[in-house]
């Protein structure tokens, strides 16, 4: 099926080469970072994780969201998802590719990355994160590829794929739970030291990932002959709505615990992010942008007649995605480091090179996504009208 990615329109190739160019720019800047060290980023002794780890965290959520299509389709026999479940699985593959790349570009000694395998350390959450992320990547590659190639041949996928699909469900939850545990188990980082962290991560994942999927499905419909269908998109829209409500509710719980208890350590990071703290307020405009977009998206999503309009649904999804991208891809990680263990403040802002490297990783992910979607869409176009049960 791979050959289907090699046969496309002029527009397709322009897009592919545009992404390749961004990957190239990112790669050149990465080589500079490789030689000169992470000092070229905005990270510091006090804020020792930044844009890279933030994006990694956010994208783990996007990856996990495939399960929101897999559960209704495979466990509840919700047939309407039969055509788009592949879009979710391939989005997961692209997202995990970005996650692993973001971890890699964040390492000070990337050539030693295999030390994690040579010296396995089960007490480290990062060790488990490596296992669950790679496992999830392979599960989705195998499941997506096998079901799609079976569709193409007009046959059922092999029997052994079924258990893998069931396995991928708890596995999706595991990747985001383990990623939350990276943060939630650290003493002295009050902003992260919260039992609701994993639940909040999952809620935001099941809102942000499917929102992106809706946007992608609408783009696919506009650009190709493959129509994912109106009903499945509406169904995903409902999932996004419920998940976003849960996410905002969980964030509210964090606010309550911090500000009703009045414990300084619990309040300080929130104060820094939303009002500024001791004269430092670089992230305040960003965090309020995120909050406003969250509210706007919720209003658009909750009112049924608005949600049913695809253009309003798309607007809501874009607003929601940007909101969560700021909140989780930036504020969550940076906020945890501010104030630092001495109760003083060192602010963080990514450098140009750092941003270009991050853009390169995103471009790499979108390249993987484009190629996989091209293959999936071509198969769907060829087999349109034929329904095959997985």
Binding site for other proteins (CB under 8 A): 36-39, 41, 43-46, 48-49, 103, 106-110, 112-113, 115-116, 118-119, 121, 123-127, 130, 182-183, 185-189, 265, 336-337, 340-344, 346
Min dist CB 348 to other proteins, Å, is 10
Nearer to other proteins, 6 or 113 (CB): 113
To other proteins, the closest distance from the beta carbon of 28 in angstroms equals 19
Two structure tokens written together for 233? 């998109």
Give the number of other CB atoms < 10 A from CB of residue 56. Answer: 26
Q: Which of 82, 78, 66 is nearest to 388 (CA)?
A: 82
**Cβ closest to other proteins, residue 291 vs residue 351:** 351
Q: Output the smallest distance, CB 114 to other proteins, in A.
A: 9
Q: In this structure, are residues 264 and 191 in contact, taking their beta carbons and an 8 Å threshold?
A: no
Give whichever of 41 and 65 is closer to other proteins, judged by the CB atom: 41
Whole-angstrom distance, CA of residue 29 vs CA of residue 11: 27
CA-derived radius of gyration, the chain: 21
Token pair, residue 253, equals 């719980």
DSSP bridge pairs for 277 = 280
d(CA 369, CA 363): 9
Q: Output the smallest distance, CB 38 to other proteins, in A.
A: 5
Nearer CB in complex with other proteins: 137/182: 182
- Residue 369, CA distances (Å) to 168, 209, 214, 377 in order: 19, 14, 14, 12
Q: Which is nearer to other proteins, 15 or 32 (CB)?
A: 32
C-alpha–C-alpha distance, residues 271 and 95, integer Å? 31
Q: How far is the CB of 26 from other proteins (least distance, A)?
A: 19
Rounded to a whole number of angstroms, the minimum distance from the CB of residue 44 to other proteins is 4
Computed from CA positions of residues 27, 33, 35, 40, in that sequence, does the dihedral angle turn out positive or negative? positive
Q: Which is nearer to other proteins, 75 or 263 (CB)?
A: 263
CB closer to other proteins, 176 vs 189: 189
Quote the least distance from Cβ 330 to other proteins, whole Å: 16
Largest CA distance in the chain: 65
Q: How far is the CB of 36 from other proteins (least distance, A)?
A: 7
The residue among 13 and 349 lying less far from other proteins, judged by its C-beta, is: 349
Work out the end-to-end distance of the chain between its first and last CA atoms, rounded to an integer number of angstroms.
18
Structure tokens at 390: 């997985």
Quote the CA–CA distance of 115 and 45 in Å, as a whole number.
24
Nearer to other proteins by Cβ, of 58 and 366: the residue is 58
Q: Residue 319: which of 233, 244, 242 has the closest Cα? A: 244
Instruction: Give least dist CB 126 to other proteins, A.
Output: 4
Encode 325-347: b = buried (16+ Cβ within 10 Å), e = exposed: bbbbbbbbbbbbbbbeeeeebeb
């Amino acid at each position: 099926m791979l050959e289907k990615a090699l046969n496309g329109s002029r527009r397709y190739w322009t897009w592919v080469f545009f992404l390749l160019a961004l990957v190239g720019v990112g790669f050149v800047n990465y080589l500079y970072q490789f030689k000169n060290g992470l000092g070229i980023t905005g990270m510091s002794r006090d804020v020792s994780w930044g844009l890279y780890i933030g994006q990694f965290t956010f994208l783990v959520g996007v990856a996990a969201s495939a399960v929101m299509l897999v559960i209704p389709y495979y466990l509840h026999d919700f047939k309407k998802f039969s055509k788009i479940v592949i879009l979710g699985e391939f989005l997961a593959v692209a997202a995990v590719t970005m996650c692993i790349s973001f971890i890699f570009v964040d390492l000070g000694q990337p050539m030693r990355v295999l030390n994690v395998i040579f010296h396995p350390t089960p007490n480290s959450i990062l060790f488990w994160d490596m296992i669950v992320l790679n496992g999830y990547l392979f599960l989705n590659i195998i499941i997506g590829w096998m079901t799609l190639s079976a569709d193409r041949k007009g046959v059922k996928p092999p029997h052994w794929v079924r258990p893998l699909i069931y396995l991928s469900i708890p596995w999706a939850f595991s990747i985001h739970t383990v990623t939350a545990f990276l943060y939630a188990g650290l003493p002295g980082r009050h902003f992260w030291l919260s039992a609701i962290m994993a639940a909040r991560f999952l809620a935001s994942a099941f809102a942000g990932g499917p929102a992106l999927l809706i946007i992608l499905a609408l783009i696919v419909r506009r650009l190709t002959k493959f129509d994912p269908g109106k009903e499945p998109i509406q169904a995903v829209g409902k999932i996004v709505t419920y998940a976003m409500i849960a996410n905002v509710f969980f964030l509210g719980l964090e606010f309550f615990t911090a500000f009703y208890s009045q414990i300084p350590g619990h309040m300080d990071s929130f104060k820094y992010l939303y009002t500024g703290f001791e004269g430092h307020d670089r992230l305040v405009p960003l965090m309020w942008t995120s909050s406003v977009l969250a509210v706007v998206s919720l209003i658009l999503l909750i009112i049924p007649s608005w949600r049913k309009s695809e253009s309003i649904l798309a607007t809501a999804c874009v607003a929601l995605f940007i909101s969560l991208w700021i909140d989780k891809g930036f504020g969550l990680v940076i906020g945890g480091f501010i104030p630092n263990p001495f109760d003083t403040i060192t602010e963080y802002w990514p450098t140009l090179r750092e941003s270009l490297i991050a853009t390169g990783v995103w471009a790499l992910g979108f390249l993987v996504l484009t190629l996989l979607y091209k293959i999936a869409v071509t198969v769907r176009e060829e087999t349109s009208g034929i329904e095959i049960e997985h």
